[in-house]
């Protein structure tokens, strides 16, 4: 039988240091959570107000995670670079890509837990009972590696389409700064909600080169 003995005679300084570290971690987590929540609300308000101005259906979807991609896409579809452009279905594409990304994220988390548990079990067995590490420990990482690769691809695809759609929204509500806002949003992601909130009350120009005419579509 194995007997484990834990040292419990922590000094006052050790306790203060430990409590200080815990407090710092909790405080940092709370601050970051508050910032993320504030940015999410700013983004949602910005998209909601622009959707109302543009006459997009179901603008309240702007406040719902994942579903807000649909609203952003609908705004992007309103913009026409020229009178004969037929915009892509950004709303559907963004929504599908976002859902796929979230599903892969869940699978990645599951495979990560499985790989971690399997590895720890094999390592503990090898350390305590002098058992060889089984091949299953290595094989458990295969789904994890595959899912991480798929996650990167899905995230990249979603990001590309999202920033294209975002540029179209910026171009509609602040054409002069559309490129600048898009570049800064790519480099500093936290600026995206700020820009969307700032331009929310601007009057949109969805056809800068002329009035859109659906009769110009190729059938």
Task: Kindly state whether residue 88 falls inside one of the protein's structural domains.
Answer: yes
Q: Which residue has the tokens 């452009």?
A: 85
Residue 11 counted as domain residue: no
Mean pLDDT computed over every residue of the chain: 85
* Mean pLDDT, residues 9-28: 75
12 within some domain: no
Start-to-end Cα distance in the chain: 80
Contact 114, 140 (CB under 8 A): yes
Over residues 21-27, the mean pLDDT reads 88
Global pTM?
A: 0.79
Positive or negative torsion for Cα 48, 81, 170, 204: negative
* Rounded Cα–Cα distance for residues 114 and 64 (Å): 31
Cα separation, 93 vs 103, in Å, equals: 15
Residue range 141-159: mean pLDDT, rounded: 92
Neighbours of 158 (CB within 10 A): 20
> Domain of 63?
17-205
State the total domains in the chain. Answer: 1
Q: Is residue 6 one of the residues assigned to a domain?
A: no
Q: What share of the chain is helix, strand, coil (3-state, %, to 5)?
A: 75, 0, 25
Higher pLDDT, 217 or 196: 196
Distances (CA, A) of 184 to 161, 163, 167: 16, 11, 11
The answer to the question of residue 124 being in a domain is yes
Measured between alpha carbons, how far is 213 from 180 in angstroms, rounded to an integer? 29
Residues 6+ apart with CB under 8 A from 38: none
Average pLDDT (99-114) is: 93
Q: Is residue 36 in a domain? A: yes
pLDDT in tens, 59-92: 999 999 999 999 999 999 999 887 777 888 999 9
Query: Quick one: pLDDT at residue 5?
Result: 43
Residue 191 lies in a domain: yes
Residue 211 belongs to a domain: no
Comparing C-alpha atoms, which of 188, 110, 191 is closest to residue 151? 110
Residue 36 pLDDT more than 90?
yes
């Amino acid at each position: 039988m194995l007997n484990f003995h834990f040292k419990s005679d922590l000094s006052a300084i050790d306790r203060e240091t430990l409590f200080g570290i815990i407090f710092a971690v909790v405080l940092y987590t709370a601050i970051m959570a508050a910032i993320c929540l504030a940015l999410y609300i700013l983004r949602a308000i910005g998209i909601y107000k622009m959707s109302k101005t543009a006459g997009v259906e179901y603008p309240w979807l702007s406040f719902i995670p994942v579903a807000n991609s649909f609203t952003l896409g609908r705004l992007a579809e309103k913009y026409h670079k020229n009178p004969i452009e037929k915009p892509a279905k950004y709303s559907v594409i963004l929504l599908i890509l976002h859902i796929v990304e979230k599903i892969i994220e869940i699978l990645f988390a599951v495979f990560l837990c499985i790989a971690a548990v399997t590895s720890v079990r094999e390592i503990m067995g090898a350390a305590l009972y002098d058992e060889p590490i089984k091949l299953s420990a290595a094989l458990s990482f295969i789904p994890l590696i595959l899912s991480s690769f798929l996650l990167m691809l899905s995230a990249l695809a979603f990001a590309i389409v999202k920033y294209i759609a975002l540029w179209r929204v910026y171009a509609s509500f602040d054409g002069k700064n559309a490129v600048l806002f898009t570049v800064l949003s790519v480099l500093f992601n936290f600026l995206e909600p700020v820009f969307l909130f700032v331009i929310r009350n601007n009057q949109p120009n969805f056809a800068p080169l002329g009035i859109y005419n659906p009769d110009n579509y190729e059938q």
